[in-house]
Chains A and B, each alone.
Chain A
């Protein structure tokens, strides 16, 4: 009997609270003046991609410290909430709902994995909150939602760029082999590269896959070697690429290795060691070309965390900066959370020409109608004496 009464009480009590139509939006929430502004940074802090999440977190933390030391955003403290998606889309959709449903979070920086960005997209879109990815390069990530942005170029551009660079800038490259990570990033980039390579007449002699997190590539490398390509394009992340280069040189491969933005990490040099020498890679920015600000950021990063920053640390640093910029210009303490979220989106969407762009350590960022970063230059770097240096010849214009 008691259970029955208690149950009825609970149901009754909560139903009174819940009498509004269930499809109501959080927009009705009236937020009073806040002392802190909250922004979520969603990335894989655990699981197989945790190495990337770690750098994203560090980049974001550096920016957060700088902003708050400089007096915050219009006097309000910026608080970053680090939400873990474990690199799994099933968790990412829950994280997205968690963030979208939190009436204090103004914007999201994330996710890293393209799968995760896509899993969250529909939810962010429904809730009306900006998703600004510093790491998802799959072509589709920004399609289909006006709330999704990213501050790096997508695989379609990068694949094309690399194919043209190999063909036009490097001499003596006739045949190429692709060695790709068998997931959204690696396969997407490979598809774009292969399409362009076929168009411009590079001979594709081999296309081999590997699994994320695997560490032994000798079987595939041996069969690539038998095809004797002039260059090998590694479409994957540094965690595996470093071992591929190392094991490839051990297997007697003398071909030119070429990597994409996923390879751009100080850890690539540490793990590949002397085998990394002469490897080319494209990257959305270089600390050298980014000017004094980028150098300063790299130095500050190292002072704070004791390691050198990589691409994602810098991109996240910029992404948080873009949100800060948007908040500084648009945040209205009297407005509703939904209006504030909308204002951030409008501000990001208004960055659509080089003149209007956001200038960060990774260069100018501005968006096309989808929310994709356009014309962010790709730099080509080469490993020389154990360091990344800008390659002598750069490719400025795509055909």
Chain B
């Protein structure tokens, strides 16, 4: 029972991170029907930029996080401006290939700038409560909630989960209560019509990229806190998050959040109870089963007929 609880928490924390990345995929998809393969790399850049701000420029962590979000938002908008905007009216798959190209460029750029060796936020740069460890000799636990069965739930993971929830709610409010949110929803429904109604669609798309990238950056920093930062970190998490976005019904933000949590839980329970060699494959099988039963994902509209 204790193990079950622990695995559940593991799954939730992982799922929260997936959800944050998946939202970035799904928002962009909802508006321009583009699978933004470069999103995983923006997530990786978010982590590296924060790390660089903290270590090279000695900026406090609390400022580095929003700064990295801002930089990533700008990076997202820049990519949209340079690479995707010229292809707005081109066949949809052309933009997909561009996205793959950007992903290659960013990944290799990161390797050349920051080296391929895995890195971490140095402990002295982090706020104290984010550093949790258990002292092997004394059994003393720092900054963590002890779990039944001997494990600990670090405050770090709790903050990751809380921050993910807060950001999701904020995003939800943004989309349903603000003017720009309304414009985004309008663009998602019909871009041409929105344009005719006086909505500056290119601006709306840029804002979408900015928000998605900023959320990706947060997720990257979260992963950098509890795991490590490498140039290829965007790939695994990015693919899983993409699966989460599709599972929830691509284009649907609530669906992406839920999809993230489901993939996270499926992965953890699959690895913990079925077979660790098939860790992500189990999550994919569940995803395939869901999609075959509900061909438009959990929350998707069943009208999508594009390729």
Cβ proximity bits A200-235 to B, threshold 8 Å, 1 near / 0 not: 000000001111011110111011011000000000
Closest to B132 in A: A250
How far is it, in angstroms, between the C-alpha of A225 and the C-alpha of B135 when the chains are bound?
17
CA distance A254 to B137 in the complex (A): 10
B: interface residue count bin: 35 or more
Given the complex, which residues of B lie within 8 Å of A47, measured CB to CB? 232
Does B271 sit within 8 A of A, measured CB to CB? yes
Stretch at the interface among B29-37, B75-83, B89-97, B144-152: B144-152
- A253–B7 CA distance with the chains assembled, in angstroms: 14
Please tell me which stretch of B109-117, B242-250, B291-299 contacts chain A, meaning at least 4 of its Cβ atoms lie within 8 angstroms of it.
Answer: B109-117
Chain A interface bracket (under 10, 10 to 19, 20 to 34, 35 or more): 35 or more
Of B118, B232, B272, which contacts A267 at CB under 8 A?
B118
In the complex, are the beta carbons of A54 and B117 less than 8 A apart?
A: yes
Q: Does A249 contact B (CB under 8 A)?
A: yes
> Could you tell me if A220 and B271 are in contact, using CB atoms closer than 8 angstroms?
yes
A325 at the interface (CB under 8 A from B): no
The A/B interface has a contact count, at CB < 8 Å, of: 122
Docked-complex contact A273 and B3, CB < 8 angstroms: no
- Which of B13, B133, B152 meets A274, CB within 8 Å? B133
One of A50, A209, A220, A275 near B231 (C-beta < 8 A): A50
User: A270 in the interface, Cβ–Cβ < 8 Å?
Assistant: yes
- Which chain B residue shows the least CB distance to A209? B277
- Of the candidates B135, B232, B236, B271, which one forms a contact with A219 in the assembled complex, judged by CB atoms under 8 Å apart? B271
Residues of B within 8 A of A71 (CB): none
Is A243 a contact partner of B133 (Cβ separation < 8 A)?
Answer: no
A277 in the interface (beta carbon within 8 A): yes
Judge whether B236 and A213 touch: CB under 8 Å: yes
A253 to B, closest residue via Cβ: B150
Most buried by A among B132, B154, B228: B228
Decide: A219 near B116, CB < 8 A? Known: A250-B151, A251-B151, A252-B152.
Answer: no
Q: Which of A224-283 contact B (CB under 8 A)?
A: 225-226, 239, 242-243, 249-254, 267, 270-271, 273-275, 277-278
Chain A positions near chain B (C-beta within 8 angstroms) = 46-48, 50-51, 53-54, 182, 208-211, 213-216, 218-220, 222-223, 225-226, 239, 242-243, 249-254, 267, 270-271, 273-275, 277-278
Query: What are some 10 contacts across the A-B interface (CB < 8 A)?
Result: A50-B116, A54-B116, A182-B277, A209-B279, A213-B230, A213-B236, A215-B236, A216-B10, A219-B271, A223-B271
